[in-house]
Chains A and B, each alone.
Chain A
């Protein structure tokens, strides 16, 4: 083959396109610039909000000649106060990642083999519908045979849930039971809400496992650690960056946080340091609790927690005597068997010193009320309850219980699951016990995955549908309250650039898919979807004059009023518990056969020369989402397993040695060792996000190890939360 200048010009025109996109004959990608494009030549700024972690910080995206150059913090956005973290900045690159999913893809080889063909949206939808309708028919018309999974943090997830509901399946599993559902349930049981800690105003903060310095890079995190007048107590089996920044770090034995909290109450109540007037007025069950905690002395707790009794006593006294002290609710503690009860105990410590609904303490979440997105439900003649309904006391219909559901789905108990539709949740990498997840995948007739990158989960799907990047799409509004912000705020995301490749927003994806399915009356499911994201946004804030325009201009809207503190105490709002009091004793729990007060159960002995595997955030990444971002991966190309130096010495293991970890249920990984004094001798840890199965994530494929491969399959039966700290491993040098 040889190209001359003459036939290059001819060939380019003839061979590269002729698809009619251009105003210049024969050219597919290039056209004459008009006023609109010429305007793009200038630098422009578009306000939007971040999607790299849960904080949703608002930024101004700088777009030069139609290309995103950087994301700058929005100077007026209260939460970020002129700050944009490194993870958020790294997001600017994501639309241009050569490995993002660009087109609908249909698998042509075996699952996981990596053979795909590019498809049109209609081809992909038709393929999905044909497979799905076939299995539904084989299951006697029961649409419950299709499961739906999704992750929080993406505003389009609401539409995904709507699709599931109008499709007619009760089987929804979400991120929540891999994260904080036990925490929410524990605090709800005591104070009637899942509150925030007023860390900006609190002078004394106890963090039990919550690793703020490595999870939330927001200015209020800096406030916690930069103010020398604040005292921060950190309980963590690992010397995290939070531990490093804390006033005092206690390497607590995993699973014993409740013992610490109960002993604190023993001291506070025993020495009469509790807020008597507050407790008398607002609490229910104080006398029972006072009797109950008498058994939990600091000396007893020392044996359980490995924290000296005097240390517990000192912390308890100072905590009770410091107005505005708070025991941080956190997102994570130990994630062991009695996690809901542990969270209840922590909530109760706050209540007995009068910390709830007071400055510096636990502040109820107050949000700007948005108009609800309404849609008609679909009714089906054939319905079944969700799969794991009998397994969990407080089962959220939308969240489900991931581990319980997955384990039943594998067995087909009480009925078969034949397909799984997944919206932006990397279930292969995030649900404990990857071998079991793959076992489930092997049983499924159809796996559909919506994502922006070829995650492990997408890699094993039959059809991958590409969602537009968060910098390319309009997302409906999100309202959030005091979660690190003094002003309740509404945020949106809006496009900095047009969607690239053949990608669509989550809303457009589900509406397109809905056209291929019918309800019992023969109506296509897209009839249940009305309007578009912009009209939904406008409707949501219609009660607030000018809010929509402000959102378009700044990407956030606030009424400028600080959240009121004290409304629950002054009676303006009712405490949302059965007794309308702060519950130190729960009749509701008792009536369900649960402990009415947190009762400590010692974690099972792990055995000699075995280790408890602990999970936790790390500073570079947001779980598994960002490990493949080059700008972040550069700082940490692979993960390593933390092993205590004294223990490693006895085992002959040095940093950099390859070791094998093996759990009790057949999960095993190989990973390099990192010998450190920063972890207890009975624990090991490695970071999430590595050891990808997907070869579509080149920076983490085969690098390090995946957490989901080593985590055993356990869940907590009150909230359905996965238990991340119940995995026991053996280690040997390879």
Chain B
């Protein structure tokens, strides 16, 4: 979803790889005026303490037997997506994904998608983010 561009992705986007790399870096790594769309959920939580959000999310995961990659902040969005997928795939306790979504997947997915809409001029990342929002809604409705 937010992985570093490969030649294949660049070709699909009809861009030179170096150009796509530069755009990716500006969006997610280091950008003019600051990272345009930080791929960290806590950056989109208005009025919340990001450190608290991360430690509680990490604690939730550990409580349910999941360890997060320590090379990323716990609110790294691709990692949070994996956590959701992991817990959705375990059908023995269907209330857990609901609890997860209610507690940790509110507010930021839409804000992240909205930010990408402003800054992702290629469009591939905003599409994925919007689809993720839609999926969350689908899961929540079930």
Contact = CB atoms under 8 A, between A and B. Distances in A.
A and B part of one assembly: yes
Interface of A: 1-5, 8-9, 12-13, 15-17, 21, 24, 27-34, 37-38, 40-41, 64-70, 92-93, 95-96, 98-99, 101-103, 105, 108-109, 114-118, 454, 497-502, 695-699, 701
Interface in B85-102: 85-86, 88-89
Interface in B28-73: 29-35, 38, 40, 42-43, 50-52, 54-56, 58-59, 61-63, 65-73
Given A32-B67, A116-B22, A118-B21, A103 B59 contact: no
A114 B73 CA distance: 24
A454 B32 CA distance: 11
A696 B32 CA distance: 6
A638 B132 CA distance: 38
A697 to B, nearest CB: 8
Contacts of B111: none
B13 interface: no
A28 B81 CA distance: 11
A31 B85 contact: no
20 contacts: A2-B131, A5-B138, A5-B139, A17-B3, A27-B85, A27-B86, A30-B67, A30-B79, A30-B83, A31-B66, A32-B67, A37-B62, A66-B58, A67-B54, A96-B40, A96-B73, A105-B25, A114-B31, A500-B73, A699-B34
Contacts of A1: 127-128, 131
A101 B76 contact: no
B22 A68 contact: no
B58 A29 contact: no
A69 B35 CA distance: 23
Nearest to B2: A16
Contact of B51 (A32, A96, A115): A96
B135 interface: yes
B18 interface: yes
A670 B75 CA distance: 39
A65 B62 contact: yes
B109 interface: no
A29 B32 contact: no
A168 to B, nearest CB: 32
A118 B51 contact: no
Contacts of A103: 29
A645 B33 CA distance: 34
B63 A41 contact: yes
A607 to B, nearest CB: 39
A67 B139 contact: no
B82 interface: yes
A24 B86 contact: yes
Contacts, number: 170
A16 B30 contact: no
B66 A38 contact: no
Given A5-B135, A5-B138, A32-B65, A68 B29 contact: no
Contacts of B138: 5
Nearest to A93: B51
B58 A5 contact: no
Nearest to B71: A500
Contacts of B58: 40, 65-67
Given A5-B139, A29-B79, A454-B30, A108 B86 contact: no
B85 A12 contact: yes
A38 B62 contact: yes
B31 A696 contact: yes
Contacts of B65: 32-33
A29 B70 CA distance: 9
Contacts of A98: 34-35, 38, 40, 43
Given A12-B85, A28-B78, A105-B25, 10 more contacts: A5-B139, A8-B135, A29-B78, A30-B82, A66-B70, A67-B74, A92-B51, A102-B29, A118-B21, A695-B31
A303 to B, nearest CB: 51
B135 A29 contact: no
A66 B138 CA distance: 31
Given A41-B62, A96-B54, A34 B88 contact: no
Contact of B88 (A5, A68, A69, A95): A5
A28 B82 contact: yes
Contacts of A37: 62, 67
Given A8-B135, A16-B82, A695-B32, A118 B71 contact: no
B29 A116 contact: yes
Contacts of A105: 25, 29-30
Interface string B118-142: 0000000001100110110011000
Given A33-B62, A118-B4, A500-B71, A108 B81 contact: no
B22 A64 contact: no
Contact of A66 (B35, B50, B68): B68
A638 to B, nearest CB: 15
Nearest to A498: B70
B3 A16 contact: yes
B134 A115 contact: no
Contacts of B26: 114
Contacts of A114: 26, 30-32
A500 B76 CA distance: 11
Contacts of A70: 51
A65 B61 CA distance: 9
B55 A64 contact: yes
A501 B79 CA distance: 13
A28 B71 CA distance: 11
Contacts of B32: 114, 695
Contacts of B34: 98-99, 695-699, 701
Kindly list the 4 A-B residue pairs having the minimum CB-CB distance in the complex, ordered from nearest: A698-B34, A98-B38, A12-B85, A67-B55
Contact of A16 (B35, B73, B78, B88): B78
A16 B81 contact: yes
B59 A96 contact: no
Contacts of B63: 41
A9 B30 contact: no
Nearest to B42: A96
A271 B142 CA distance: 93
A64 B60 CA distance: 12
Contacts of B73: 67, 95-96, 500
A8 B133 CA distance: 12
Given A33-B65, A92-B51, A108 B22 contact: yes
B40 to A, nearest CB: 6
A695 B85 contact: no
Contact of B59 (A12, A16, A41, A502): A41
A93 B73 CA distance: 11
A9 B88 contact: yes
Contacts of B51: 67-70, 92-93, 96
A108 B18 contact: yes
Nearest to A500: B71
Contacts of A699: 34
A8 B132 CA distance: 9
- Most chain-B Cβ atoms within 10 A of its Cβ — which of A29, A65, A101, A115? A29
Contacts of B71: 498-502
Nearest to B62: A41
Contacts of A115: 22, 25
Nearest to B134: A3
Given A3-B134, A27-B82, A500-B73, A64 B66 contact: no
A32 B88 CA distance: 15
A696 B86 contact: no
Given A40-B62, A498-B70, A29 B30 contact: no
